[in-house]
Structure formats: C-alpha cells, structure tokens
Amino acid sequence: MSAARSHNNCGGVCVRGGQKHWRHLLEVFPDRYAEAEHHEQQLRAELGDVAILRERRGGVSRPLTLTELRHRQPAEHHLGR
C-alpha cells in the first residue's frame, strides 16, 4: 500500500487501525477491504457479536462491523473511484 504508511507490513489491512484507517482502505483498496470484511463475518459466525472496530457514543461502546462502516460511506468510496 504505497498510498499508505512507511510502517506498512500488513498490506494496509491492519486490525489495529481505527475507523479513519478502514475508510481509507475502502477508498484506495476496496478488494482488500472486502476480504477483511469477509473474514470478520466468518469470525462473527464463530464468536458472536465481535468486530475489528468499536463505536463509542454517549459513553457506550459497541462493536462496529466493517459491513456497517462500508454502508455508512458514499458509494464512490467503495467502487474504487
């Protein structure tokens, strides 16, 4: 991911990244995002209500799935435009 970071050793698919990181990945490498989203869905099927990301609102923290994050983005972000 040359459009990414000098410390990039995970191809941009960093589970420690925050929402901004994942939105950027969706925009720049939608195929990598889709693969991570698929793996997250598999984990959720095995482990239940877990996600790579968290959302905090009003002092309450909850899992934020990559699918939900993608649905919040304008269409051009996940069409590689």
pLDDT at 5: 52
First to last CA, the chain: 17
pLDDT at residue 7 greater than cutoff 70: no
- Three-state DSSP state, 64: strand
pLDDT at 81: 46
Identify the helix (H) or strand (E) that includes residue 51: none
The whole-angstrom separation of Cα 31 and Cα 80 is: 9
- Percent of the chain's residues with pLDDT above 70: 80
Residues 32 and 12: beta-carbon distance below 8 Å: yes
> pLDDT tens across 18-42, in order?
999 999 999 999 999 999 999 999 9
C-alpha angle 43/45/46, rounded to 5°?
65
